[in-house]
Amino acid sequence: MKLIDGKKIALKIKDEIKDQVYKMIELGEKPPHLAAVIVGNDGASLTYVGSKVKSCKQVGFNSTLITLPENISENELLYEVDKLNKNNDIDGFIVQLPLPKHIDENKVTLSINPNKDVDGFHPSNFGKMALGMKSFIPATPFGIIELLDRYQIKTSGKHTVVIGRSSIVGRPISILMNSKGKSGDSTVTVVHSRTKNIKDYIKSADILISALGVPDFVKKEMVKDGVVVIDVGITRVIDENSEKGYVIKGDVDFESVKDKASYITPVPGGVGPMTIAMLLKNTLLSRSINS
């Protein structure tokens, strides 16, 4: 079994970005500027956004954190998005999801200027990605592709099974894995909560990408020998013995599955750090799109 070290690769990518930022500054250009909008006080969302802002500093980007109250109206939030769309100093921005229930997330996503949509959630970017055109690719699937590429894992002609069909992970990664080109050309099966005989599909996977959010869902007996396992799941599980009161669990029972896998990502330290690194990569791209 070979561990896919997302933490190490993410640090490498950040160093590469940092070098590019130095070069920009040497040429008299401004460093890229990422803004993050957070609505409310959800603990996990605050942690994610905090890490994103911290990572900007690490690579020399400018960053702006916009914290808005839980009870902000949809119109007020749309107004904030519009200001960011028009602000020439901001190259790219994200609106951290989930949003409070009274706000229509689709409406907010649609209101973001696609050229600044570094999360890659706008239909314009999603559509371009599906058509194989240059676009912002959602950071988590982008990170998975990058990991497979950097570990030189062969995907062409392989059977990839994706568990989960969300628009931020399952669906985009299934499109990318069966697209032509880098880390693609795979034959993809997407399974979800309505799939019958899900275990049969999982057992047939050469590459298994799990994004369902159920801790330890994938067990040793469900996978075949030599499988490549990418565990996207991140779930906080209460653990009174830990300092924080919870532990982070993936979808895969790592301890039992690792002996059967040829490659496997740990949780934490696998896909998670890559998501942030690829958001930074998208921000660098937005800088060139908008200048």
Positions annotated as catalytic residues are 52, 96, 119
205 binds ligand NAP, rule: CB under 6 A: no
Least Å distance between CB 167 and ligand NAP? Answer: 8
Question: From the list 34, 59, 103, 163, which residue makes contact with ligand NAP (rule: CB under 6 A)?
Answer: 163
Least Å distance between CB 185 and ligand NAP? Answer: 23
With beta carbons less than 8 A apart as the criterion, state whether 275 and 14 touch. Answer: no
DSSP 3-state of 158: coil
How many CB atoms sit inside 10 A of residue 27's CB? 7
State residue 22 phi and psi, 5-degree precision: -55, -45
4 binds ligand NAP, rule: CB under 6 A: no
268 binds ligand NAP, rule: CB under 6 A: no
With beta carbons less than 8 A apart as the criterion, state whether 206 and 158 touch. Answer: yes
**Nearest residue (CB) to ligand NAP, 51 versus 62:** 51
The amino acid present at 156, given as its one-letter code, is: S
Binding mask 14-33 for ligand NAP (x = CB under 6 A): --------------------
First and final C-alpha spacing in the chain: 45
Beta-carbon contacts of residue 151 (< 8 Å; ≥ 6 apart) = 2, 4, 263
With beta carbons less than 8 A apart as the criterion, state whether 229 and 249 touch. Answer: no
Least Å distance between CB 183 and ligand NAP? Answer: 17
Question: From the list 114, 170, 172, 266, which residue makes contact with ligand NAP (rule: CB under 6 A)?
Answer: 170
**Nearest residue (CB) to ligand NAP, 60 versus 213:** 213
194 binds ligand NAP, rule: CB under 6 A: yes
Beta bridge partners of 2: 263
**Nearest residue (CB) to ligand NAP, 34 versus 169:** 169
Beta bridge partners of 35: 64, 93
How many CB atoms sit inside 10 A of residue 67's CB? 12
234 binds ligand NAP, rule: CB under 6 A: yes
Q: State the residues that interact with ligand NAP by CB under 6 A.
A: 140, 163-166, 168-170, 192-194, 198, 211-214, 232-235, 271-272, 275
